[in-house]
Amino acid sequence: MAPAERNDHPTYDLKKIQAMVRVGLYDIRKSAQDAARALALTERDIRKCICSLNHRCTCDGGHFYKSMEAEHPAAKGRGLWQDVYRVGYKHFVLYVKLQHPSDGRPVVISFKEK
């Protein structure tokens, strides 16, 4: 049986996600946009924040917090995971949840204040 959470390393290649985000090749869920907007953060802020992330574990001074199995039934059926990063950006501590299906663009699942 696979563990419900994997905390030791990211599932997805963060550098690849960041390269795609830099050039606008990503999707963002409406809930993530709404959460950012509620904090007066723009989509440009979202991109800058994602591009500032590093893949090291928070226990090693990095931003990676955990990987978790996707909660949406359609994503679960495809075996998708979500990488969660905890990062200080502007005057917030944010949780940024990313997913990168092998057949598509990276997706910003969540972008909210801790």
Answer whether CATH 3.30.2310.40 is correct for domain 5-113: yes
- Amino acid found at 22: R
| Residue 86 near residue 42 (C-beta atoms within 8 A) | no
| Residue 48 near residue 22 (C-beta atoms within 8 A) | no
| Residue 108 near residue 26 (C-beta atoms within 8 A) | yes
- Amino acid found at 18: Q
Give the end-to-end CA distance of the chain in Å, rounded to a whole number. Answer: 30
Using the CB atoms, write b or e for 11-37: b if 16+ within 10 Å. ebebeebbeebeeeebebeeebbebbe
Domain parsing of the chain, residue ranges: 5-113
Tell me the whole-structure pTM to 2 decimals.
Answer: 0.89
| Model confidence pLDDT, tens digit, residues 47-88 | 999 999 999 998 888 999 999 988 866 666 677 899 999 999
| Model confidence pLDDT, tens digit, residues 22-34 | 999 999 999 999 9
